Amino acid sequence: MADTAVVTSEIYSEKDYVCNLKKSDNKNVIAKFVFKYPLFDEDGDLIVQRSKESKVSEQFIEIEHSSISSLKLVGLQVWRGALLLSDYLLHLGPEKLKNSTILELGSGVGLTSIVASKYAKNVICTDVDLGNILKLISSNFLRNKHHVKSKYSILGLDFYANEFSDELKEHLPNVSLVLAADVIYDNDITDAFVKTIERLLIEPPSKDIYIALEKRYVFTVSDLDSVAPCYEHFLLRLSEMMAKNKSKNWSAIQLDLDFPQYFRYDRVKQFVLWKISS
């Protein structure tokens, strides 16, 4: 698909977001992403609420973003994989995340990193700096400062770069958890992404990488069937990476999606969540 092709995220057809949209000063839109999350006490223990109190935990994250873009600038939109990954972070909660340093790759407009910042010790939010996206991430963090409990950094990261920036390298010795949502949509980018996570897995300490994506099917005459070519390409590159590093005893598993849904979106059957560990 050419860079000039216009694409739009599936979430904008969902009524919960349409009714909450408003225009920003620079022709973006601002949407409230409503979620109901579990409450925890100071020790990280779950607070069980009575049904009549359930509305207390309903909150929203307000995100400025584009509602339409070229393929090159898809990071300016919000995609459902970010909401799936955000659900998983809320499911892990402070017990698993409170002392962690979390690195997000291809953060887009920052929604998942903002969710991570509710519980983590430090969050490094990264993306390639196109369309002033780093500035937009920064403004979205400030817009949601009441949710942000961790330290955070917003850094440029290009999957095609041969080296990590010096600023990012300073954080890597502390990173134990890496996130990526909906970065599998173009084969060249997928190749560069897999090389990036390979470099991260090689770097100490041991870490877990969570990759959320939505398989997108197309009908091809050659197959006479609907296939998900971008996802199949990702599986191929992942398999090659694991075989290349077989001696390191890394693991790659597809997780069940049986954890609770906190955000309002359509959790479609095409969703996939991978966990890769070093």
pLDDT digits (tens, 9 = 90+) for 12-64: 777 666 556 666 666 788 999 999 866 554 554 544 555 445 444 788 999 99
DSSP code string of 103-116: EEES-TTSHHHHHH
Tokens standing for 245?
Answer: 């590093």
Q: What is the CATH number of domain 75-277?
A: 3.40.50.150
Instruction: Please write the tens of the pLDDT for every residue from 170-198.
Output: 999 999 999 999 999 999 999 999 999 99
CA 231 to chain centre: 16
Q: What is the pLDDT of residues 244-265, one digit of tens each?
A: 999 999 999 999 999 999 998 9
What is the separation, in whole angstroms, between the first and last Cα of the chain?
A: 34
pTM recorded for the entire structure: 0.89
pLDDT given for residue 1 in this prediction: 42
- pLDDT, tens only, 85-115: 999 999 999 989 999 999 999 999 999 999 9
Among 7, 12, 31, residue whose Cα is nearest residue 266 = 12
Residue 228 pLDDT = 77
